[in-house]
Amino acid sequence: MILISKYFIPRGYLGITLYPFVLLKDEGLKTNKVLMNHERIHLRQQLELLVIPFYVFYCIEFCMRLIQYKHWNLAYRNISFEREAYTNEKDLNYVRQRSWFSFLKYV
């Protein structure tokens, strides 16, 4: 389900996925196929890790990357879940052909 909330999305981001919702900064982003594919990859990741463990792993890895890189955006971009999503966001068939736990290739 897609929701629009320009106030809930952190500055510098266009969308955020909180299973089963995709929150976007504005209505026009619904037609951005690459962004929507990126968020669908996150939905699949969250589903395969049964949602709560996804957020636990995501937060732990973000903290580790923040210590490693000492830079917020660099840490965020190097989270394995984000690396998978950014690497494959332009492949609009990726979610359909993606194998389970594919994010492990990006750890």
* pLDDT surpasses 90 at 6: no
The domain of 79 spans 2-106
Q: Please check whether residue 3 is in contact with residue 24, taking contact to mean a CB–CB distance below 8 angstroms.
A: yes
Backbone dihedral region of 13: left (phi > 0), alpha (psi from -120 to 50 degrees) or beta? Answer: beta
pLDDT-based confidence at 105, cuts 50/70/90?
Answer: confident
pLDDT at 68: 98
The pTM of the full predicted model, rounded to 2 decimals, is 0.93
Give DSSP secondary structure letters for 16-49: EEETTEEEESSGGGGG-HHHHHHHHHHHHHHHHT
In the prediction, which pLDDT does 100 show?
A: 86
Q: What is the 3-state secondary structure (H, E, C) of 54-91?
A: HHHHHHHHHHHHHHHHCCHHHHHHCCHHHHHHHHHCCC
Q: Which residues pair with 16 in a beta bridge?
A: 23
- Total structural domains in the chain? 1
pLDDT of 55? 98
Mean pLDDT, the chain, integer: 96
Q: Could you report the per-residue pLDDT of 17-68, keeping only the tens digit for each? A: 999 999 999 999 999 999 999 999 999 999 999 999 999 999 999 999 999 9
